[in-house]
Structure 1
Amino acid sequence: MAEKQKFPFAIQNVTEEEDALIKKYYKAEEAACQHCSDRKARQCLVGEQLTRYIRPFVRIGPHGYLWPAGYGDHAADIYNLDVRPDDIWVTSYSRSGTTWLQELVWLVQNNLDFDTASSIPVSTRYAFIEYPTLASEVRKSTPNSNIKGQRATEDDYTTLPNLPSPRYVKSHSPLSLLPPNLLDTAKVFHIARDPRDVVVSYHFMHIMFRYFDQSVQFKEFWELFQKNLILHAPLEEQVREAWEQRDHPNMMFLLYEEMKKDLPAVIDRVCTFLGKEYTKEQKDKLNDYLQFDNMKKKSPFVSSEDEKKDSELKFMRKGKSGGWVQYFDDQMKKEAEEYMKKYLMCTKLQFPDVNS
């Protein structure tokens, strides 16, 4: 086993003001208890601990990526994971089309094994390496949750070393926080999406998985996003890191909008990247399998809200591009224009017009 490397980046607490604002939303002490009227109780009247983060959130590295303190505890463990040549890693900022790409990549690499893909959730086939580091220090069980069968991953950074090859790995960490030999050793995919659509989807994900209370409005989430007070932020820096590696022979950089606009072309690119050849009929079947409505039916995250056609609390929500315009008021649209100028200056990345 290679000697463990020292984690090269500073890990610093956010300011007291930032931490107070973050914890106002990320299930801090004042989060409402479903049993009690006391919104600041450390323990509810029926004895259940409230879900809350105790330690300050942290910023990591020169770009100040925002994570709970638990990530800081294990950043070196993630950075020092052994990478194998037959690994396949799928990376992204949250809500950028990760699950869609994971399924595409796994099927291409596994000879279009639709039976296994249909019977074993993608969350079991991929190790979501940093998932345990996102947990709050005090957690409350939610036996009455609307989300059934919810399990974000079977494996993570603690079990990855013991998994048999080939391993499939998912991460929302930027490349700089992942093993430094990753790109030179394994195949890596990164998917990016118009950040305005990302922030809408991310808002509803925060509510669905109870990071935030359901009363939190999108405008509040957007304000936090602009201040880089949302998990994994800043988005543009994470995308920039991957974009700058797009010509590396082991990196495939994709856009969600490319997959929406011409999925068969993306399938061809992924097949070439992984050295796989399939007939037109086989690729047509893969294309059909990966259509949003079909993917949605196979999602491991099933909500009782799904029966409500207008519900936004779905893991596979709408699968559209350009839908952000429905959620931004005029002032927010002006702010989004300014953000996109900053984003484009940072990434030099243009998104194709899909609007569907």
Structure 2
Amino acid sequence: MFRAIIHMIRHDGDPACMAFDGKVLPDVDTYLEFTDRPDAPIGTRTVDKVKQQPRPRFYATHLGYEAVPKSILEKAKIIYVAGNPKDVIVSTYFFFSSLKPFAFSGTLEDIAMSYINDKAPYTPFHKHVASFWKHRDRDNILFLTYEDTLMNCRATIDHVAKFLGKNLTDEQLDNIVSLCSFDSMRKNKKVNKTTHAQLDHSASPFIRSGTYGNWKKHFTIELNEAVDRWIKKEEHKVASDLEGFRFRCE
């Protein structure tokens, strides 16, 4: 969702930038933490892909605050998007199930336990969120939540645009709200990754739910109780750094 929103903001809300012309959305999955083989040819490495991007460069990372390179923390504009842990667990399960190279055959409970035991990627989960929340007042950091974005999509898009130095017209905002809606993106090959060979869309579509609270359709009572205990324990651990923040799970 945010890939498409930022793409359209950069193109001043022009609908043409979302038209599928045989090419998918320009690849911003140049994750900073992804490494390359030692023998990777120059020009194909992650660092090369970043350098080759036209300015202003746009790239993604799942890294927590402490792991992000200092130069980026000081010079880049950073948009952090937090999601409630219950929906994140469900999303991770369906994403792993669809990712062919993973050959994942586990259960939702397996994924939940990987978060509870800090074995899932980029855990501990609450510490990760807290690492950016406590720096949310910095001028170059915009802290958002997935849930608030869904509830106040237009206002969030306008907020992101202004953070990126763009003042959009009402028409431009309308275009972005419309073309970045989940119903629109599900049908748009520019963003729905139906052409992505590594994803098995019969297992789960890449653009799957577009709502929050989806966990209620998948959690058992026992799993929900276990996750609630974990959330309570982890929130206590980082209480000072997460002061004033609450996940919206309902």
Partner of 2:162: 272
Distance 1:242 1:192, change over 3 A: same
Distance 1:213 1:275, change over 3 A: closer
Partner of 1:351: 247
Write 1 or 2 for the structure with the bigger share of helix: 2
Normalising by the residue count of structure 2, what TM-score does the alignment of the two structures yield?
A: 0.82
Q: Residues 195-344 of structure 1 correspond to what in structure 2 (within 5 A)? A: 195-210=85-100, 212-213=102-103, 215-298=105-188, 299-302=191-194, 306=201, 313-344=204-235
Shift of 1:343: 4.1
Shift of 1:288: 0.7
Distance 1:211 1:126, change over 3 A: closer
Mark the runs of 5 or more structure 1 residues left unpaired by the alignment. 1-99, 136-153
Which stretch of the first structure deviates more once superposed, 224-233 or 343-352? 343-352
Q: Residues 1-356 of structure 1 correspond to what in structure 2 (within 5 A)? A: 100-119=1-20, 120-122=23-25, 124-125=27-28, 127-132=30-35, 156-210=46-100, 212-213=102-103, 215-298=105-188, 299-302=191-194, 306=201, 313-345=204-236, 346=238, 347-348=242-243, 349-352=245-248
CA distance in 1, matches of 2:203, 2:126: 25
- The count of corresponding residues between Structure 1 and Structure 2 is 233
Normalising by the residue count of structure 1, what TM-score does the alignment of the two structures yield?
A: 0.59
The secondary structure found in structure 1 opposite 2:87 is: helix
CA contact (8 A) 1:126 1:168 kept: no
Equivalent AA in structure 2 for residue 339 of structure 1: W
Partner of 1:15: none
Equivalent AA in structure 2 for residue 302 of structure 1: T
Which structure exhibits the higher relative contact order, with contacts defined as CA atoms closer than 8 Å and separated by 6 or more residues? 2
Equivalent AA in structure 2 for residue 337 of structure 1: D
CA distance in 1, matches of 2:131, 2:114: 22
CA RMSD of aligned residues (A): 2.6
CA distance in 1, matches of 2:96, 2:200: 15
CA contact (8 A) 1:207 1:213 kept: yes
CA contact (8 A) 1:173 1:232 kept: yes
Residue-by-residue CA offset, 1:58-91 (whole Å, 9 max, x unaligned): xxxxxxxxxxxxxxxxxxxxxxxxxxxxxxxxxx
CA distance in 2, matches of 1:222, 1:125: 28
Between the aligned residues of both structures, percent identity stands at 24
CA contact (8 A) 1:128 1:155 kept: no
Which stretch of the first structure deviates more once superposed, 208-217 or 266-275? 208-217
CA distance in 1, matches of 2:124, 2:82: 13
CA distance in 2, matches of 1:209, 1:123: 20
CA distance in 1, matches of 2:162, 2:30: 24
